[in-house]
Amino acid sequence: MEKQLHLNVLASRPPVSGGLQSRSKMRMGPGRKRDFSPLSWSEYFEAMEDVEVENDNAKDTFRIYCSGQHGPVLLLLHGGGHSALSWAVFTAVIYNRINCRVVAMDLRAHGDTKVKNSDDLSAETMAKDIGKVVEALYGENPPPIMMIGHSMGGAIAVHTAAANHVPSLLGLCVIDVVEGTAMDALNSMQNFLRSRPKTFKSVENAIEWSVKSGQIRNVESARVSMGGQVKKCEEPLNSPGVSKSISDGIIEEEEEEEEEGESNHKRKKEDDQEVKETLYTWQIDLSKTEKYWEGWFSGLSALFLSCPVPKLLLLAGVDRLDKDLTIGQMQGKFQMQVLPQCGHAVHEDAPEKVADALASFMVRHKFTEFKEGFLC
């Protein structure tokens, strides 16, 4: 059970008792449903851009979302299977707290990034990607950059910093990834991935699943984030693989929603008709990336401690430090904060708490200042 609580690679922790999932079963009044409709990136970021970089005699295009024109850059790197949109709500919150610019990036094979070799998800290749995007954006004189990564993105941020691919690096923030627990979780990861739905009948259905399963406990964040995790199925609808998995992706309506007078049989029939119109599946098949998992996390603690910039480690409440990090913390080599009652997607579940921790860290180190009028 403990290993299941530490799926730090890609997965969210199961919801705690009395958390969002249990509240989702509460009645919301006659005829009212929870809103799982998608939200646009433009409600949280000021701009979207495709950044083109040269890579092995080919051009790769990386999707980024940006806000702000002044101050240090917060370079945000998402976890495995997620996208830059997982930072949407956090971006709106942090941007109101401190003077900064935000650049959230879709990593290789994720989101709307298009690369020639989408199968190479090695830590070395992804770290180089980040350096090339920074260079494409800012040239030879990049502004001060604070790199912030969640889960896999946190591991890649450490590899990027250790290889000095971002020469103007101010500081490093790693969210909910610890080498020891991540390595322990690798044996359980394929089972976790197999337990997820293979298809969804709509983006709304994917959002609903993410909230009710506890993957993302913040409904607002799920509504903007899940659109970057799923895509329309490319396989024909009559293929065995798709038809077999249709029912896996359908979330049964809550009991109170059945009070509208429709029978289960009629509802199922209508769902089947909807499914025939279009299906959505995961943007990336994470099970096929297994050969890279160990490379992301092995030796991560020592690499993290070796980075010469100020460092912040933010953890969900159930995580523990491994030996190297415990010693490093006692020696004052990094700052750590535990955010209780969060799932693995800490920055989505509690964007305000993460923004408060990060803003305080950056102001304390004189990287930036609180915005005028913001009461810290």
**How many distinct structural domains can be found in the chain?**
1
301 within domain boundaries: yes
Structure confidence by residue, pLDDT tens digits, 121-166: 999 999 999 999 999 999 989 999 999 999 999 999 999 999 999 9
Q: pLDDT value at position 34?
A: 87
pLDDT over 80 at 253, yes or no: no
What pLDDT is recorded for position 277? Answer: 62
Q: Is the pLDDT of residue 168 over 80?
A: yes
Q: Which pair of structure tokens corresponds to residue 16?
A: 């705690």
Q: How confident is the model at residue 276 (pLDDT cuts 50, 70, 90)?
A: low
Please tell me the predicted confidence (pLDDT) of residue 320. 74
* DSSP character string of 162-200: HTTSSTTEEEEEEES--HHHHHHHHHHHHHHHHHS-SEE
* Mean pLDDT, the chain, whole residue set: 84
22 a catalytic residue: no
User: Domain of 315?
Assistant: 41-187+289-365
- Write the DSSP string, 4-53: GGG--SSPPPPPPTTSHHHHTTS--STT---------GGGT-SEEEEEEE
Residue 238 maps to a domain: no
Q: Residue 299 belongs to a domain with what CATH number? A: 3.40.50.1820
**Chain centroid to CA 343:** 12
Q: How confident is the model at residue 231 (pLDDT cuts 50, 70, 90)?
A: very high
**Torsion angle of C-alpha atoms 223, 220, 225, 190, degrees rounded to 10:** -90
Residue 110 confidence (pLDDT) above 70: yes
pLDDT value at 112 more than 70: yes
Mean pLDDT lowest among 10-19, 139-148, 350-359:
10-19
Please, what is the Cα angle at 159 between 132 and 185, to 5 degrees? 130
Looking at 86, 344, 347, 349, which residue is catalytic? 344
Q: Is the C-alpha dihedral spanning 173, 169, 102, 65 positive or negative?
A: negative
Length of the chain counted residue by residue:
376
Cβ count near 355 (within 10 Å): 21
* Sequence-separated (6 or more) residues with CB below 8 Å from residue 156: 77, 107, 123, 126, 127, 130, 149, 296
Neighbours of 289 (CB within 10 A): 21
With 0.75 as the threshold, say if the pTM is over it.
yes
- On whether the CB atoms of residues 78 and 63 are closer than 8 A, the answer is no
Instruction: Look at residue 241 and tell me whether its pLDDT is greater than 80.
Output: no
- Check if the beta carbon of residue 66 is closer than 8 Å to that of residue 86: no
* 176 is known as an active-site residue: yes
Looking at residue 55, its pLDDT comes to: 81
Asked if 226 and 207 count as a contact pair (C-beta separation under 8 A), the reply is yes
Q: Please report whether residue 278 resides in a domain.
A: no
Q: Is residue 256 part of a domain?
A: no
21-to-58, 113, 354, 366 alpha-carbon distances in Å = 45, 32, 21, 40
pLDDT value at 317 more than 90? no
Q: Which of 83, 151, 202, 210 is catalytic?
A: 151
- Under the banding of pLDDT at 50, 70 and 90, the label for residue 252 is very low
The residue among 78, 80, 88, 66 whose CA lies nearest residue 11 is 80
Whole-angstrom Cα distance, residue 100 to residue 97?
Answer: 9
What is the CB neighbour count within 10 angstroms for residue 230?
23
Q: What is the pLDDT of residue 22?
A: 33
pLDDT of amino acid 376: 58
Catalytic site includes residue 263: no
Say if 150 falls within a structural domain.
yes
Q: Average pLDDT for residues 1-20, to the nearest whole number?
A: 34
The residue from 60, 106, 176, 271 that is catalytic is 176
Is the pLDDT assigned to residue 308 strictly greater than 50? yes
